[in-house]
Structure 1
Amino acid sequence: MAKDRDQKRKKKREEKKKAALRREQHTARMAKAEEYTLCIRRAVHSQDFEEALGWTLKKLKLDPSDEYTRQWALRFAKLCNNDSVVYTLLS
């Protein structure tokens, strides 16, 4: 019985550590995504669409399911006449 209890406690501690690590990694990814968003806005404000495209692609690497960023990346790629990126984003 004592062994089972100790194993349960150990398992619970490990699960808590894993959950804390996941939260920490998620927070770090969100902070980096926010930083990329600010860089995108600065690039768009200065009308440097190639730089904005680079930042949107970096942001998409963090979260490939972000459709809003994907649409912006497509717009920037079209503005820069970068067909290879357009094809990559559409596939």
Structure 2
Amino acid sequence: MAEDPLKVYEKLDPEIREQVENARNFAFKDGALPSKIKILIAMALDASHGAVQGVRALANLAKMAGATKEEIAEALRVAIYVCGAGSAYTAAAGLKKLF
């Protein structure tokens, strides 16, 4: 996995890093939706926002949480339907080294 994008905050502003980590842990913890589903949602959102590195990191995280390549693909179908073809190009760029 790539270097932590928030690493710069270890020295610059450790408090903001901690806040972001706490928000991530809160957002992705198991609840009414399992963590895997929440990660797939975040991946689809990153695809819709043009975040190639986010798609890559979250797809990898989803796989580690037990998501299949079919589940990853279907989550991305939703982003492509709702947000358009740009999501498909972002997702493809993010996934090409993963699959």
Q: TM-score range by the shorter chain?
A: 0.3 to 0.5
Q: Return the structure number with greater relative CO, CA threshold 8 A, min gap 6.
A: 2
**Structure 1 or 2: more helix by fraction:** 1
TM-score for both structures, normalised by structure 1: 0.42
Structure index of larger Rg: 1
